Chains A and B, each alone.
Chain A
């Protein structure tokens, strides 16, 4: 890339310049706005801008996709642009959509967050595209509004459960727990052996939610209509015994002293390192953590396995699943750019696209596109997830079944896990939080 320097405006020699001089400066600026400073697309081809969250994993994946797509489509170049992740990123996306300033294609969440960006107004439907048929049925509802489909899956499905260190398990002769009691028994044995049983990392507050969110398969098994009733202001976390279990589990492990000493200040990356190196045995996490973990500690590909959060009933043991993010085309992308953007989506949702993604990032679970294979050298934890999918013991997480998700859950679970608040009080507070969100969404019955 060239580094143009003509954008530097003549610096006023004296701080207090006359108005005339000033106007000149401002006009000069308007003429070479920073847009002209960026690397410009080369040649006559189309350049699509592609907005992704700025996490290292997302950027690497996006750049790999861009490269491989351009190799297959030399007339189209893709320029990756980043935004903050998390809540700040949600606002950037919404603000840019609401003001008509979105990039040509963008990566965003599926499920309840997707519903909140007014897809029918802001996004180009892709319902009739050929590739849609190849996308897994579990994914489509999470990127659909009304009768239309709007997105293609980027990345692979994720499980929410427990990453565990297999070496620790082998040394102590433990087996993968299928009930909560077995899990606690394992913890006791691990603590006895002087290893930290459960890793929590509250420097990154979002990591605290897994005990609650990852338990949803068990909630759904006990109360099959929970999601619907929850959306209709019926079922509550504090009053539904099955749903309350998630909060109680968190309180139990904390009270038993099973957490790492530095849980309050440890970060997500500390957690990955601890479980990979065996300093801790269990790390409740989403499986998209596998890729950064293997990058940091290559042996983890072999040493770390995965199991779903166990519930009370062995028979209904199964996995809570998160669908991957989607790539969407905003309605502001028009003409030949829109054509090019749709071609990009088709590429993403194709076996070549999956192969490209596997190069850019270690998959976190199965791809949701037909004929996409996991690479043969996928880490152990990924094959562990695959086995849940193979046996069909999988439920989508609550956020894909209901538009309601309280924004303060991560602070609440930090409080419960830190012993600042009890499980019941946490669940009650979360119900209030949920009520607020439902009211703000203007849902009926709240």
Chain B
């Protein structure tokens, strides 16, 4: 979900700083105590527990008692047999879902901003899955993707295609879940892109048309570059979501068959389930560092490119 909106304002704020002379008189209109209510809730129920959890990642913790063991949990987490697989899967999952959401989101947005019959209906149905419970979607698609009785393979067999055993074939399981993730999430990407495409001034298209640009060229040279802020938003959003993704995978495959569709978040969850609380908090710290290590530089890079452009 998150960050939808991070990018554009940053660029804007840099390029258009607050008018000078807003000075002291203005400042008093933005009192720090406005932070207070939010800060109180956030500190008490998020920051404090998080700090406690960081401490417990250095302990062997049964919930009832703990013993300080330094970095052993981290050593153990990195020796976790499923970790390497989980790491690769996490990256594959994040890249596949993120990539498909960007491409499909943009294409759908272009379609849905063009003059097409039933536009309202189409926009609605694309967005609706975003609103539906992940668990409900997981259950529904687990049934639809059943290898022999599921509707998807039965339809495929009507046209003579032998569908794969989506969720139970080791080479398909992860991708199948990723497809469902895209199905559920592409609506949000589309809406963001629609917003981006709508906000492109018509003059650009008119100018391009006067220059004799074809539809494809207009897409490449007008839509694509000018929808860039939307692209950044979609990428950041779906990448964080993909890297942390857990509920859908857990609801559909539980990381299986075997360990073949495990991602880091599900590896961590399994440690938690097994009662290895210290170990699982250590895993959370690792996941946090990993997400930051990927998202923060990317964020910076995308913003910089934008500033130059």
Q: Do A's and B's CB atoms come within 8 Å in the complex?
A: yes
Q: Which chain A residues have a beta carbon within 8 Å of chain B's beta carbons?
A: 86-88, 90-91, 94-95, 97-98, 116-118, 121-122, 202-203, 205, 262, 264-265, 407-408, 411-412, 414-415, 418, 420-421, 429, 432-433, 436-437, 439-440, 442
B32 at interface, CB cutoff 8 A: no
Contact B63 A440 (CB under 8 A): no
Contact B273 A91 (CB under 8 A): yes
Q: With A90-B273, A436-B76 in contact, do A415 and B148 touch (Cβ < 8 Å)?
A: no
Majority-rule SS of B interface residues: loop
| Cα distance A10–B109 in the bound complex, in angstroms | 39
Contact B62 A118 (CB under 8 A): yes
B169 at interface, CB cutoff 8 A: yes
Q: With A94-B63, A439-B76 in contact, do A407 and B165 touch (Cβ < 8 Å)?
A: no
Contact B275 A429 (CB under 8 A): no
In the complex, what residues of B have CB within 8 A of residue A436's CB?
76, 79-80, 276, 279
Kindly identify, within residues 214 to 254 of chain B, every residue whose CB is under 8 Å from any CB belonging to chain A. Answer: 254
- Nearest Cβ in chain A — how far from B265, in angstroms? 15
Interface centre among A94, A421, A436 (most CB of B within 10 A): A436
In the complex, what residues of B have CB within 8 A of residue A205's CB?
254, 256
What 18 new A-B contacts, CB under 8 Å, besides A87-B273, A262-B147? Answer: A97-B63, A98-B63, A118-B62, A118-B64, A118-B65, A265-B148, A265-B165, A414-B257, A418-B170, A420-B257, A432-B81, A433-B81, A436-B76, A436-B79, A436-B276, A437-B274, A439-B60, A442-B60
B67 at interface, CB cutoff 8 A: yes
- Nearest Cβ in chain A — how far from B162, in angstroms? 14
Q: With A202-B168, A414-B258, A415-B259 in contact, do A265 and B274 touch (Cβ < 8 Å)?
A: no
6 shortest interchain CB distances as A-B pairs: A87-B273, A407-B274, A415-B258, A264-B168, A98-B63, A118-B64
In-complex Cβ contact of B275 among A90, A408, A421, A442 (8 A): A90
B123 at interface, CB cutoff 8 A: no
Nearest A residue to B80 by beta-carbon distance? A436
B110 at interface, CB cutoff 8 A: no
Majority-rule SS of A interface residues: helix
Q: With A94-B63, A98-B64, A265-B167 in contact, do A408 and B82 touch (Cβ < 8 Å)?
A: yes
20 contacts between A and B (CB under 8 A): A88-B273, A90-B275, A94-B62, A97-B64, A98-B64, A117-B64, A118-B65, A121-B64, A264-B165, A264-B169, A264-B257, A265-B168, A408-B259, A411-B256, A414-B258, A418-B257, A433-B81, A437-B276, A439-B76, A440-B276
Contact A408 B254 (CB under 8 A): no
Contact A95 B63 (CB under 8 A): yes
Contact with A along B45-78 (1 / 0, CB 8 A): 0000000000000001011110100001000100
| Cα distance A95–B277 in the bound complex, in angstroms | 11
Give the B interface residue count (CB, 8 A).
Answer: 36
Contact A440 B60 (CB under 8 A): yes
In the complex, what residues of B have CB within 8 A of residue A421's CB?
258
| Cα distance A439–B147 in the bound complex, in angstroms | 40
Nearest B residue to A262 by beta-carbon distance? B148
| Cα distance A79–B136 in the bound complex, in angstroms | 29
B97 at interface, CB cutoff 8 A: no
B183 at interface, CB cutoff 8 A: no
- Nearest Cβ in chain A — how far from B183, in angstroms? 20
In the complex, what residues of A have CB within 8 A of residue B60's CB?
439-440, 442
- Nearest Cβ in chain B — how far from A430, in angstroms? 10
B272 at interface, CB cutoff 8 A: yes
In-complex Cβ contact of A202 among B64, B72, B148, B257 (8 A): B257
In the complex, what residues of B have CB within 8 A of residue A97's CB?
63-64
Nearest A residue to B267 by beta-carbon distance? A408
- Nearest Cβ in chain B — how far from A56, in angstroms? 17
Contact A429 B81 (CB under 8 A): yes
- Nearest Cβ in chain A — how far from B163, in angstroms? 12
Contact A440 B279 (CB under 8 A): yes
In the complex, what residues of A have CB within 8 A of residue B72's CB?
439
- Nearest Cβ in chain B — how far from A66, in angstroms? 29
In the complex, what residues of B have CB within 8 A of residue A117's CB?
64
In the complex, what residues of A have CB within 8 A of residue B146's CB?
265
In the complex, what residues of A have CB within 8 A of residue B273's CB?
86-88, 90-91, 407
- Nearest Cβ in chain A — how far from B148, in angstroms? 6
In the complex, what residues of A have CB within 8 A of residue B147's CB?
262, 264-265
- Nearest Cβ in chain A — how far from B211, in angstroms? 46
Kindly identify, within residues 86 to 106 of chain B, every residue whose CB is under 8 Å from any CB belonging to chain A. Answer: none
| Cα distance A90–B276 in the bound complex, in angstroms | 12
Q: With A262-B148, A265-B168 in contact, do A420 and B260 touch (Cβ < 8 Å)?
A: yes
| Cα distance A97–B275 in the bound complex, in angstroms | 13
B278 at interface, CB cutoff 8 A: yes
